[in-house]
């Protein structure tokens, strides 16, 4: 089925271009925990998240994985299809999700005809390179404690005068994001809680005071 228009939930800056892009794509729906693309797959197009949420990750033969990013409505992945290479990462739905899928040939024509979209694409790729560069630096130069506190600080938002990690993450998911074991993350959380630095309320994490640079 051809997609009619981008949803109203998309930001005002994105919506006009995405409405036009929608005319070139098809909509696809997937249940939760469905693998949309696998690392190494032949590229087939750009995916725009219309609803739901996905994780972008790398994994090895033993099933160990590292989460690169989490994308929600209005975000997109698969732009590296433009070079004709294979998928550089896998993508799985975290909840029931709907996508606009734009074939590579249509994407190339759209980028050529819309310099504003092309610049946005370039900025997004630059931002991702910066994130990956920081992640490599963190893995190479920070211990696990440093990576845990860096992730907490990046995810924390101010709510009712408190710094809260509102995103519901299990310790296993956090471990996957920072390249560590769940056991090590659990140990650090217990130490931080005993020290009065953090508090868990349901699946939310409240940062009660500035986290120490070292432990």
Grouped pLDDT means (10 residues each) for the chain, 215 residues: 38 60 88 93 85 90 80 86 85 95 89 86 84 74 84 87 83 84 90 91 86 80
The yes/no answer on whether domain 15-139 falls in CATH 1.10.287.110 is no
Backbone angles phi, psi at 8, to 5 degrees: -65, -20
Distance CA 138, CA 153 (A): 14
Distance CA 186, CA 192 (A): 10
Of 205, 179, 180, 202, give the one whose Cα is nearest residue 192: 205
Q: Identify the pLDDT of residue 4.
A: 39
15-139 and 142-207 in the same fold: no
What is the pTM assigned to this prediction?
0.63
Q: Identify the pLDDT of residue 6.
A: 38
Distance CA 212, CA 197 (A): 9
SS3 109: helix
- Every domain of the chain and the residues it spans: 15-139, 142-207
Q: Identify the pLDDT of residue 90.
A: 93
Q: Identify the pLDDT of residue 140.
A: 66
CATH of 142-207, one of 1.10.10.10, 3.40.50.970, 3.40.50.12280, 1.20.1050.10: 1.10.10.10
Distance CA 162, CA 84 (A): 46
Q: Identify the pLDDT of residue 12.
A: 31
SS3 64: coil
């Amino acid at each position: 089925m051809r997609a009619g228009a981008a949803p109203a939930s998309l930001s005002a800056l994105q919506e006009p271009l995405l409405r036009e892009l929608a005319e070139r794509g098809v909509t696809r729906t997937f249940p939760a925990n469905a693998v949309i693309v696998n690392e190494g797959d032949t590229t087939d197009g750009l995916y725009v998240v219309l609803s739901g949420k996905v994780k972008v990750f790398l994994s090895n033969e033993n099933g160990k994985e590292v989460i690169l990013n989490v994308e929600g409505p209005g975000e997109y992945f698969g732009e590296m299809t433009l070079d004709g290479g294979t998928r550089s990462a896998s993508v799985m739905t975290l909840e029931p999700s709907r996508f606009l899928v734009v074939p590579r040939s249509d994407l190339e024509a759209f980028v050529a005809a819309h310099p504003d979209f092309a610049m946005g694409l370039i900025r997004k790729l630059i931002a991702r390179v910066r994130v990956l560069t920081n992640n490599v630096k963190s893995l190479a130069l920070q211990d696990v404690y440093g990576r845990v506190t860096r992730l907490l600080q990046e995810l924390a938002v101010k709510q009712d005068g408190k710094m809260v990690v509102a995103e519901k993450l299990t310790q296993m998911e956090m471990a996957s994001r920072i390249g560590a074991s769940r056991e090590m993350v659990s140990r650090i959380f217990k130490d931080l809680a005993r020290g009065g630095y953090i508090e868990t309320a349901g699946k939310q994490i409240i940062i009660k005071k500035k986290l120490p640079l070292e432990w």
